[in-house]
Structure 1
Amino acid sequence: MKKRLISIIIPAHNEAKIIHYILQRLITLVNPGDIYVVDDGSTDATAEIVETHGCRLLRLQSNVGKAMALNTGIKQFQLYSRYRYIFPLDADTTMTRTFIPEIIRCFSQNPKKPHAVVGRVCGTSKNWLTLYRMWEYEIGQSIHKRAQSSIGAISVCSGCSTVYKSDVLQNMTFPGVDISWIWRWQF
């Protein structure tokens, strides 16, 4: 069976206020059948909202946390055997129209080397705190990540903007902390 290009998997716990907007935006970028939502024991209308968008849904009876929800969803939906790339996306994250094509281009430039490609996170400036966070992300992404990349040792892949080769995920699971997972790849 030929693998499809990319799946998006979203762990969601009580995201009824935002999930409609996020899914509406994603559907303009990818086929709704390639969007998978793991309802992580929500007590609000998250699952019902997901169902109205034609996305795939897995309902967990209780809240197991982001890492376990991702692991369960990837396994239950068999994403590593059906897709070349898997994109775990936070339920409150959006992306630009060029995000996925740019990520795929990065993988295509060197098909054997990268296990994951990290995108760039951009926030919205609403007050001094969000403005500071945007500045902090910019420093981290523009300087630190480039330096780490040049020596082939990225220490952390952002949980909301990293796309993984599916064969890598077939042999690993998401831990509670991203950094321990990334270090296992490199050391």
Structure 2
Amino acid sequence: MIAIVVLSIVMFGVNAVFWSAVGGMRRIEQFRQERIAGPSGGQVAGRGARSAERLTPDDVAILIAAHNEELVVELTIGSACSLVPASNVHVVSDGSSDRTADLARSDGARVLELQPNVGKAGALAAAIENFGLSEKYAVVLLLDADTRLSADYLETGLPYFDDPDVVAVAGRAATNVDPTPATRLGRILVAYRERVYVAMQLLIKYGQAAKRANVVSIVPGFASMYRTNILSRIDIDAPGLVIEDFNMTFDVHAQQLGRIAFHPSAAVAYTQDPDSFREYTNQVRRWTLGFWQTVRRHRVRADKFWLALSFYIAELIISSVVLLLFVPLLVVSLAAAAAARWMPAPPEPLVEFANTLPPLYLVLGLLIPDLILTVLAVVTMKRPRYLLYAPIFPLIRIVDSYLCLRSLAQSRAGGSSGRWTSPTRRAVVDGRASYPEELV
């Protein structure tokens, strides 16, 4: 029984339990403030005091970095233009060889074309300077070319900037399910990615973004906002990194530029997740490699951000090792149990191992906490079919663990050029995106 408890704690995560508790206290405090403010309180509790002039969509520049994104860029621009004037939408086509730039122009966006491909980070830095975004706008919203913004993205996200201490608003990631992946494996991979978003954002990130904590480790580059007056102090195009958003977030903390805001019901945006195993592993490898590269680039400091990050890294490595050892341990446990049962005089160490780590305890120690995460996603996203995929999700977690540890080793080998190849996109057939009703 001790084995199942220990394995369950490792699989579910001490970080998830701790930050969920912090998030719960944050929600209670927000509810208390809402009760005090009453129906005419005028603002969502917990978003800080109002500034003299609230920011409006006219104050927001939207910047979309794209590389060969003709299948999706028009819908992304349309989503952006539904929230801000078309003149506020900017696209940087980074070495595209398709119709990305032409389609963006025809949709009314301002376009910068770069040749050759310099990478997303370099493209963002070049576009911010070329368009003069820091001088013309108060806020820049960074979008990936496959992102769809919720109709209330700015309505719910901009008020966080009423607090002058807030310098960035992290977008809430959700999965775009239109079009549906064509294969069963694709649907399972997309469902798993949505489960990861729910678990990370509800159980960890919401607590990390509490005002007194402020230890959010990533402002995702797919759909997040920054005050433009801090961009010159952030090394957007840092050399040797495969992705930019971890580094930008770490820079905010390193230079103590201000607070990062996040709320699960604010600044919601939808992304198209990979639906093939190759594309999925490429994306996870890129994300984890970018994380480890950023950790190695920044110097450890004696502050609460690095304290929280250190506990997360320790747990990430331990859980990854345990998951990779799970299958061999299960095989040995099955063999030991069989030998202890059928051998006339089994060796004492074999019997001890079979009693300490029986196969059933190993399986339950993995499946129970993993099933809890699936149920959380089912309840939050109202997708009961995810329960059918629950037996497969632990196998994908093992793949993630391998990619995480492999990327850790690769991060020691040297930097990356930052150049990118966009994943294969699913074309939207009906000309519109489908969003879960509970998040719109």
Q: Identify whether the pair has TM-score above 0.5, normalized to the shorter chain.
A: yes
Q: Which of 1 and 2 has greater Rg? A: 2
Matched, 1:134 2:194: yes
Q: Aligned equivalents of 1:87 and 1:27: distance in 2?
A: 12
Q: Which runs of 5+ in 2 are unaligned?
A: 1-55, 181-186, 255-440
Which residue identity is paired with 1:124? N
Tell me which of 16, 19, 24 is aligned to 2:73.
19
Identify the residue that residue 148 of structure 1 maps to in structure 2: 208
Which residue identity is paired with 1:148? Q
Distance change >3 Å, CA 54–CA 177, structure 1 → 2 = closer
Matched, 1:93 2:93: no
Identify the residue that residue 318 of structure 2 maps to in structure 1: none
Identify the residue that residue 106 of structure 2 maps to in structure 1: 52
Q: Aligned equivalents of 1:179 and 1:138: distance in 2?
A: 19
Distance change >3 Å, CA 54–CA 124, structure 1 → 2 = closer
Identify the residue that residue 157 of structure 1 maps to in structure 2: 219
Q: Please state how far the C-alpha of 1:185 moved relative to its aligned partner.
A: 1.8
Q: Please state how far the C-alpha of 1:124 moved relative to its aligned partner.
A: 3.0
Matched, 1:181 2:248: yes
Identify the residue that residue 77 of structure 1 maps to in structure 2: 131
More strand by share: 1
Identify the residue that residue 20 of structure 2 maps to in structure 1: none
Which residue identity is paired with 1:120? R
Q: What TM-score do the two structures reach when normalised by structure 1?
A: 0.92
Tell me which of 202, 215, 233 is aligned to 1:171.
233
Which residue identity is paired with 2:251? R
Matched, 1:106 2:160: yes
RMSD, aligned α-carbons: 1.5
More helix by share: 2
Q: Aligned equivalents of 2:108 and 2:81: distance in 1?
A: 9
Identical amino acids, percent of aligned pairs: 30
Q: Please state how far the C-alpha of 1:160 moved relative to its aligned partner.
A: 1.0
Q: Aligned equivalents of 1:180 and 1:24: distance in 2?
A: 29
Q: Aligned equivalents of 1:60 and 1:155: distance in 2?
A: 30
Which residue identity is paired with 1:171? R
Q: Give the length in aligned residue pairs.
A: 183
Contact 1:12–1:91 (CA under 8 A) maintained in structure 2: yes
Contact 1:14–1:43 (CA under 8 A) maintained in structure 2: yes
Identify the residue that residue 285 of structure 2 maps to in structure 1: none
Range 3-12 or range 149-158, more displaced: 3-12
Q: Aligned equivalents of 1:61 and 1:177: distance in 2?
A: 20
Which residue identity is paired with 2:88? D
Contact 1:124–1:134 (CA under 8 A) maintained in structure 2: no
Contact 2:235–2:251 (CA under 8 A) maintained in structure 1: no
Contact 1:13–1:42 (CA under 8 A) maintained in structure 2: yes
Deviations 1:65-93 (A, max 9, x none): 11000000001101001000001100000
Contact 2:87–2:110 (CA under 8 A) maintained in structure 1: yes
Range 125-134 or range 159-168, more displaced: 125-134
Q: Aligned equivalents of 2:117 and 2:247: distance in 1?
A: 22
Q: What TM-score do the two structures reach when normalised by structure 2?
A: 0.40
What SS does the aligned partner of 1:143 have? helix
Q: Aligned equivalents of 2:171 and 2:249: distance in 1?
A: 15
Q: Please state how far the C-alpha of 1:177 moved relative to its aligned partner.
A: 3.4
Contact 2:234–2:251 (CA under 8 A) maintained in structure 1: no
Q: Aligned equivalents of 1:183 and 1:73: distance in 2?
A: 22
Q: Which runs of 5+ in 1 are unaligned?
A: none
Q: Aligned equivalents of 2:228 and 2:90: distance in 1?
A: 15
Deviations 1:91-132 (A, max 9, x none): 000011101121111111x1x211101121110344111111
Distance change >3 Å, CA 184–CA 172, structure 1 → 2 = closer
Which residue identity is paired with 1:173? D
Deviations 1:34-91 (A, max 9, x none): 0000010100011111111111000112111110000000011010010000011000
Q: Please state how far the C-alpha of 1:170 moved relative to its aligned partner.
A: 2.5
